[in-house]
Amino acid sequence: MKIYHNPRCSKSRETLEIIREHGIEPEIIEYLKNPPTVKQLKAILNKLKLKPKDILREEEILYRVKYASKNLNDEQLLELMAKYPTLIERPIVIEGKKAILGRPPSKVLELIPG
């Protein structure tokens, strides 16, 4: 199991706590320090069965000020998120071929067996 994690985010911390409470120690990817590439984002979105817009943090000031007024396509959004990982919604948890966006954190239970 992998978690794209931001330790400063309460939802991300809660999701990680739920995973650990079930005896799983996931691979923790602090995506602000190690941002995913466009290719990795595409693979993540494929597992989430979502579009780039679905994991875009539109409320971030950077997005609102510089990009909200632009009509960006999926590829441009992916490039933007790879360049500015603060624009990626969190946490994202991956288990095998499945993934969830941990909003709310209890959604991670969908990936935990038993």
The CATH number given to whatever domain includes residue 82 is: 3.40.30.10
Q: Give this prediction's pTM.
A: 0.94
pLDDT at position 101, please? Answer: 97
Q: Is 94 a catalytic residue?
A: no
Q: What pLDDT does 93 receive?
A: 98
Q: Which of 4, 5, 7, 9 is catalytic?
A: 9
The domain in which residue 87 lies consists of 2-111
The answer to whether the bond into 91 is cis (omega within 30° of 0) is yes
Residue 68's CB is within 10 A of a number of other CB atoms, namely 12
Our count of domains for the chain comes to 1
Per-residue pLDDT band for 106 (boundaries 50, 70, 90) equals: very high
Residues 6+ apart with CB under 8 A from 27: 1, 2, 3
User: What's the mean pLDDT in 45-52?
Assistant: 98
pLDDT at 18 over 80: yes
Q: Mean per-residue pLDDT for 27-32? A: 98
CA distance 10 to 38: 26
Band (pLDDT 50/70/90 cuts) for residue 113 is confident
**Integer angstrom CA distances of residue 64 from 56, 58, 61, 88:** 11, 7, 5, 14
Q: Write down the pLDDT at residue 114.
A: 74
Q: Are 11 and 91 in contact (CB under 8 A)?
A: yes
Q: Report the DSSP pairing between strands 2-5 and 92-95.
A: antiparallel
Q: How far apart are CA 36 and CA 83, in angstroms?
A: 9
Q: What is the mean pLDDT of residues 1-23?
A: 97
